[in-house]
Each structure stands twice: as C-alpha cells, then as structure tokens.
Chains A and B, each alone.
Chain A
C-alpha cells in the first residue's frame, strides 16, 4: 500500500541524471570528463566558471522552477477539483507579467523585475481572493470564473504595455512572457521553498486526498474544509509567484506533469506532490537544456520548448483517456 519509496527513488535518480546531463551541455563544448573534473574540484578556471557559476545555478533554478510549478499545479487541481487546472488558471501569471513588464518599462532589471513580478502575482492572488470571497458564497466554479475573468483583464493590460513600449524593450518583454531562465538569480530560496512545501504538504496529504472527493465528503470525514482550501490557495499562489518571478510564465509544466503522474501513480497526494516536485523539476531541466543547445550559441526561451513538448503530450493523454 505505501509503496511511495520506490517511485520516488526512481524519480530522484532520473532527476540527478538529468541535472548531470544539463550541466555538461551548453554552448561551450565540455566533455563529461571535463564536467566530472570540475565537480571534483579540478578543471581550468574557465571550465569552473562555466559549470559552477553559470550552468549549475541555472540548472538548479530550472529544477526549482519546474518543481514549484508542478506542485502548484497539483494543488490547484485539488482545490478546484479539476484535473485540468494549472497554476496560472486564476490569473496569477498575468499579475506577475504586468508587474515584471512595468518594471522593465521603467528600466529596471534583475532582482527588481523579479520582485515586481512577485508583487504582481500576490496582488493577483489577493484580487481573486477578495472578489471570490466577497460575496460569502464560495465554490470552486466561482473561484475559477473569477480567476479566468481577472486573467483576461491582466491579458489586456499586458497587451497595452507591449503596445506602449519602445521597440528595443520588446525582445526582453517577449522573452519574459514566453518564460526564460537566463535571468534567474540565486536558486537557493526557490529550492528551499520547494523542500519546505513538500515537507508541509506531507501531513496535509491525506486531508487533500479526502478533499479531492468533494467538500461535503471531506467535512463528514473530519476535514475543516474552508481553512484547508484557503491554505492550498495561498500555498499554490506563493509557489507560482516564486516560480514566475524566477523565470517568467513558463507554460504547461504545471498542467502536464501532475496530470501525467496521476495517470501513472494514481491519486494519492502524498505521493503525487513530492513526485510532482521531482518530475516537474526534471522536465524543466531537460527543456532548458534543449533551449540552450538546440541552436547554440544562440538561445531559445524555455517556455517555447515546454509548450512544444507539452501540447502534443497533453493532446495524446486526452486522446488516450477518451
């Protein structure tokens, strides 16, 4: 019954392999031997810079971002009792995008853009929270509708900002909107958040399983439904906000990864959530590696790769589940 360790161990192994692959590939040609030399404290200064200062942080950022998105997606799916929900469905990425683009328009860069994106995402969260909560009667479909309409509003503001921006700002903005890891900063906070959340949802896991069977059933089995739902909402929002402020709005990871894992591993959230962290991270590490090397030394935004991988995968799953 509790066969959690085997699938998780396999996923950890795959993650490590993919990270290894990712740090040994890039514009600059380094062999696996070179990579190994650097990791064991040898190698030339250039190789050390390439691997330890450029590739490793970026790979870890990709892993953290993908993991955060997949866990947020899985939580959102339980919250909305809809296996097709994704982390952006309630307009969070729209708020983050508006924050980030406004910062770019003001000529800011780096951490300030990330911070502004994070603030935008939280603002979007609170806006949807306030609108859906204000009336007192709260249902997943009401939250969903509020979120979708608010997201459309953000979309309009994004278009407006793009239309008002000088041409030379546009490439940066478009890359941000497509999702791009080249300006991800220090991965440590995001990784810490990922680990923290996985530890936090572990005791919540069984309650989430019960909640997935509907709020009445959950209440009858002793779950305090409303506080749990808001906790999930806040958690998923913070995770998404952290991911989006690192790498822009990368699509499909939060939708496809939990969905695929549910098909393979079933619906026990105690297994699905940590598995999402690992598989989501791995998927984004692979996608980012592709983005970096496909037309190296030129670079693609990773969001393009995840969408190119995600759309056919998702259509296939839908087709198969008919």
Chain B
C-alpha cells in the first residue's frame, strides 16, 4: 500500500499536474492519507523532535513557527517557540499560531489531539518512518509540501545513496552476533523491524533478538547470557555513559565480554529516524567491523 501511495504521489506531482489542481501540492502521509495544500506551507508546526529534524533536512526550517519540546537538532530548532510536549500538546497555542501545516509523528503524538486540530481545518501530515526508504521519502514529501521539492529530493537521494554504499560494503561481511541494549531497568532491546535493527543487518550484524515479535521487547539477562552475543552495543543513558555496558563485565563467560566487544553508539545519531541515521549507521558499521576483527 505504501509503495502504491508513493508511486501515486510521484505520478501525481511530477508527471500529470491536472488542470483543476494545477496549483495544489499533494503528498500521501505515513497513514496513507492524502494531504493537499493550495500553496507551499509557510507556517509549519512540528510536533516531534524527529519531525523537526526532517523538516530542516527538507529545507523547511525557516517555515517552522513552533516545535515540540526536546526539538534540539539542528541547534537553531532549539531556539524556536515550543508547542508543548509531544504527547501533551498545547492545542490552543498551536491553533493560535494559525499554521498551514502540522507535522505529526505516529509513535509520539496523540491521534485524538490531532483529530481536533484537523477538525479546525489545519492539514495534518503524519510521519511514520520505519525504514531507510521511509526516511528518504518523508524528506522528499515534506520538501514538496513546503515548496522545497528540489532540496528535499536531493537530500533524500544523497541519503539513500549513502545507505546503499554501506550496504554494498558490509552486507556480505562475516556476520557478527549483536545485542543492542536500549535500556537497562527494565532491560530492553529492539527486533529486526526497528530501524536500529535494520541498521545492524545492513552492517552485516545479526541481532540475537531480531526474531522477537515485539519491536522493543523487554528481555531478561538470562536470555542475553544464553544468546551469548559477540558484541554488545548500547546508546547508553547519555552520550558518554558506559555504565550499562560495563555491567556486563560481571559475566566474563559472555563472548562479547571476553573479546571486549562492548561499544557505545552515539544515541542521537541512531535513535531518531532522521537523515542523521546515515552517519549513525556508518558509525555502527565501523564499530561492527572492529568487533569482527576480534572474532
């Protein structure tokens, strides 16, 4: 369905601008809703840090009139007015800004709150990036809606090209069995569906919990010991907080500990589904290469 929608949008916008809709800008969002604007968006509100980042990537940073809390990248995003926390939006403030486009994030925002905004006639564009391709196409579509079609398409293409390059280089490499730790109490990891899980596979890693049904499963230490991964990766609680990793050293029989394959991955580069994933993934690939050398 998604691809069909994408083809439809591309077809619509690029090839056949219909006479009656000549000035309309349309794009299908992550929920397969078609969002059309009569003119490029000039007053955009972003409701999640990821959406803010993607809007900046699409060249629409100067169109943003408000962002959600924790929108800290790029640095100029942090200076914009805030419209509340992503799961508790300040609806009044958003409506008062008279936006012509609101960009929401499926995993963070409340559908019922957004329904109210939509009822007031403000177009809502939902983002739901689950794959590298989704990220690229989100930038592309946000470019279209904000009148930065070329910037968006260019950045999206660069991103995909970078990802392809990594794929070509690492996919056939010797598999490294990886445990990626998302949180410590409770102990959480990701499966293959999660974007980090995809990045691990792209880099020639094999996620020991990739097969679990839940996207962010909560597991036991015991399961980690039994799976006995070759490398343990974690974003840590902060950028240079190795505490979670160091805790594994109390189990010297773990292959990852024995080979000293405990790696901190810069969380801001990998835990948001944005164009920075390219840098994060390439860091991840280099890390796994290092781990691979110790196998």
Contacts and interface: CB of A to CB of B under 8 A. Distances in A.
Chains A, B in direct contact (C-beta < 8 Å): yes
Interface of A: 26-28, 45-46, 49-50, 53-55, 107, 109-110, 113, 163, 166-168, 171-172, 175-176, 180, 182-183, 292, 296-299, 301
B214 interface: yes
Nearest to B86: A167
B219 A27 contact: yes
Interface of B: 70, 86-88, 108, 183-188, 209, 212, 214, 217-223, 225-226, 228, 237-238, 243, 250-251, 253
Contacts of B185: 109-110, 113, 172, 175-176, 182-183
A297 B209 contact: yes
Contact of A296 (B186, B214, B220): B220
A113 B188 CA distance: 18
A28 B223 CA distance: 6
A168 B220 contact: no
B219 A298 contact: yes
Q: Would you list the 8 A-B pairs with minimal beta carbon distance, nearest first?
A: A297-B223, A28-B226, A27-B223, A183-B185, A298-B217, A27-B222, A175-B186, A45-B253
A182 B184 CA distance: 10
A27 B220 contact: yes
Contacts of B188: 171
Contact of B183 (A45, A54, A171): A171
Contact of A46 (B186, B209, B253): B253
A49 B219 contact: no
Contacts of B219: 27, 297-299
Contacts, number: 84
27 contacts: A26-B222, A28-B225, A50-B226, A53-B251, A54-B221, A54-B225, A55-B222, A107-B237, A109-B243, A163-B88, A167-B108, A171-B186, A171-B218, A175-B185, A175-B186, A176-B185, A180-B186, A182-B186, A182-B187, A182-B220, A182-B221, A183-B186, A292-B222, A297-B220, A297-B222, A298-B217, A299-B219
B183 A299 contact: no
Nearest to B221: A54
Contacts of A109: 184-185, 243
Contacts of A163: 88
A53 B225 CA distance: 11
Contacts of B238: 107
Nearest to B187: A182
A166 B271 CA distance: 14
Contacts of B183: 168, 171-172
A109 B251 CA distance: 19
A177 to B, nearest CB: 12
Contacts of A180: 186
Given A166-B70, A167-B108, A182-B187, A26 B253 contact: no
A227 to B, nearest CB: 40
A183 B188 CA distance: 13
A46 B184 CA distance: 21
A299 B186 CA distance: 9
Contact of A50 (B88, B209, B222): B222
A26 to B, nearest CB: 5
B240 to A, nearest CB: 13
A298 B226 contact: no
A53 to B, nearest CB: 8
Given A296-B220, A297-B223, 4 more contacts: A27-B219, A54-B221, A172-B186, A182-B221
B108 A46 contact: no
Nearest to B226: A28
B219 to A, nearest CB: 5
Contacts of B87: 167
Contacts of A28: 222-223, 225-226
Contacts of A107: 237-238
A297 B229 CA distance: 15
A49 B251 contact: yes
Interface-centre pick from B212, B225, B237 (highest chain A CB count, 10 A):
B225
Contacts of B70: 166
Contacts of A50: 222, 225-226
Contacts of B250: 53
Contacts of A182: 185-187, 220-221
Contacts of B220: 26-27, 54, 182, 292, 296-297, 299
Nearest to A107: B237
A217 to B, nearest CB: 48
Given A298-B218, A298-B219, A27 B186 contact: no
A109 to B, nearest CB: 6
B290 to A, nearest CB: 25
Contacts of A298: 212, 214, 217-219
A45 B258 CA distance: 14
